[in-house]
Amino acid sequence: MNKENLDSKISFDTILSEIWEMLKDGAEKSKSDFHLGIICTINNNKPKSRTVVLRKVDQNKNTLIFHTDNRSGKIDEINKNPNISWLFYSNESKIQLRLEGKASVHTDDELFEQQWASSKLISRKCYLIYDQPGSSIKEHDGCLDQSLAGGLPTEEQSEVGKVNFSVVETKIDSIEWLHLKASGHLRAKFILDKDRFKGEWLVP
């Protein structure tokens, strides 16, 4: 494949703006392939991955946001080691994104309040479980108060879970884009340099 041809077809600026558009779409639309991402943190020197919902994307700040229970294992992992990676794949567009950066946990600031205010009751219900996520229990019982088991909490009941809610913000400093194509896969890397992402092509 003629590399010059490939490069002239798509510029780094175009790829970057498509990346941020796909991510914003992911945060806004539950049907988007990028609505769910895999985040990987470090637990005792070993990688640990899990699925989360991409809740907010701020291109000006280069940040991605997810919500979690502040009693969950990943909070302790992030507090000990803020290095985090996000992985997305869209089967529709055949694009994989690998993003890396530093995560910070928000539990009492403006961002926290905004994200809590915009959380639906169905999401807030997760924060009403009375035991620490991941701790062992003798029998599975949903870990919710009987009155909540079958349905949604009221707004007032949901406020009880606010103490367990946290917002994790990742400041992205590196992005790797892989586009699978029958004509030849394309792979590019973007590294944050001062305030701009600088691109380079990689062997796919």
Ligand X SMILES: Cc1cc2nc3c(=O)[nH]c(=O)nc-3n(C[C@H](O)[C@H](O)[C@H](O)COP(=O)(O)O)c2cc1C
- Report, in Å, the least distance between residue 40 CB and ligand X: 10
Q: Which residues pair with 102 in a beta bridge?
A: 83, 171
In the complex with ligand X, the residue whose CB is nearer, 8 or 91, is 91
- Report, in Å, the least distance between residue 67 CB and ligand X: 5
d(C-alpha 58, C-alpha 49), whole Å: 23
Per-residue binder mask for ligand X (CB under 6 A), 31-70, x = binder? -----x-----------x-xxxx------------xxx--
Q: Which two tokens stand for residue 88?
A: 């997305």
Q: Which two tokens stand for residue 175?
A: 């992005």
199 binds ligand X (CB under 6 A): no
Residue 3 CB burial class (10 angstroms; 0-12, 13-18, ≥19) = exposed
In the complex with ligand X, the residue whose CB is nearer, 39 or 172, is 39
Torsion-angle region of 27 (φ positive above 0: left; ψ -120 to 50: alpha; else: beta): alpha
Q: Which two tokens stand for residue 157?
A: 């009941």
Task: By CB under 6 A, name the one of 1, 80, 134, 163 that touches ligand X.
Answer: 134
Instruction: Report long-range pairs for 143-147 (Cβ below 8 Å, ≥24 apart).
Output: none
133 binds ligand X (CB under 6 A): yes
In the complex with ligand X, the residue whose CB is nearer, 15 or 40, is 40
- Report, in Å, the least distance between residue 61 CB and ligand X: 20
Query: Contact positions toward ligand X, by CB under 6 A?
Result: 36, 48, 50-53, 66-68, 72-74, 133-134
